[in-house]
Amino acid sequence: MNTNDDEFALAPGVMPTPTLPSISTLTRPFWDAAAEGRYILPRCNACGRHFFRPEVACPHCFAIDWAWVPASGHGTLYSYSIVHKAPAPGFAVPLVLAVVELAEGPCVWSNVVGCAHADLRIGMPLQVRFEEVSRGIHLPRFEPRDGVWDARPS
C-alpha cells in the first residue's frame, strides 16, 4: 500500500511511512479509536489481562471473551534501534524503531519521536502521540513523557 493521496499532506514534522497497516475486521476498532486520538487495548474478560496485538483469543488464557478498553498511552522504552537503512522506499531515515512496554503490560512496536537520538535511554518514560500518516490513518508513536524523566535527579 502506498500513500498516493494527492490531497493529503503530512503535517509539519510528521515522519512519513510508506507502509500502511493492512487493517482487518479484527483490528479495525484500534485504528478507528486512533483516528479519534484514543489509545485502546484488548483486555481479556476471563483473566483480566491486557494483550497486544489483537488476536481472536486471549494469548494469556485462550479465552475468546475479550473487549477493547481505554488505555493510558503511557509506557517505557524497553529497547530500540536507530534505523539508518530505509526498510522500504519512502521511509525517512534515520528513524527510531522502538519496543515500548506499555503501563498495562504488553510490549509493542512503535517509533520514538520528539527526542534527540543522543537522549534516548532504555527505561525512559514515554507517552503516545498519534500522527496522521495517510488520510484517516493515525499511527501511535511515542514521545518522551513530559515532566517525568527530566525531573529525575541526574
Partner 1 sequence: MTHPRAATIVGLYQTRQARTLPGRTSQDIVIEAVKGAIADAGLQPRDVDGAAIDWPGPGGAPRDAENWAMYLQQPLAWVDSHHLDTAGVRGVLKAAAAVEAGLCDVAVVGSGRAGPFSTDGTSPGANMNLEFAEPFGSFVMAQFAVVAMRHMHEFGTTPEQIATVSATIRNHGHVNPEAAMFGAGPYTVADVLASPMIASPFHRLDCCLMNEGGCALVITTAERARDLPRHPVRVLGGGMEFFQGNYANPPLYRQMRELGRKAVARAFGRAGVAPADIDVFSLYDPVSFEIIRQFEMLGLCAEGEGGAFIENGRLSLGGSCPTNLDGGMLAGSWTGTGQLTLKVIEGARQLRRVNEHRQVRDAELALISNAGSGAQHVELMILGRA
> Which stretches of the chain bind partner 1, using CB under 8 A?
17, 19-24, 27, 52-53, 78-89, 91, 93, 95, 97-99, 107-111, 122, 133, 139, 141
Spatial separation of the C-alpha atoms in residues 129 and 103, rounded to whole Å: 15
Closest distance to partner 1 from the beta carbon of 143 (Å):
14
Nearer to partner 1, 147 or 152 (CB): 152
Spatial separation of the C-alpha atoms in residues 84 and 99, rounded to whole Å: 17
Closest distance to partner 1 from the beta carbon of 93 (Å):
8
Spatial separation of the C-alpha atoms in residues 93 and 72, rounded to whole Å: 29
Nearer to partner 1, 33 or 98 (CB): 98
Spatial separation of the C-alpha atoms in residues 104 and 74, rounded to whole Å: 8
Phi, psi of 149 (to 5 degrees): -75, -50
Closest distance to partner 1 from the beta carbon of 33 (Å):
14
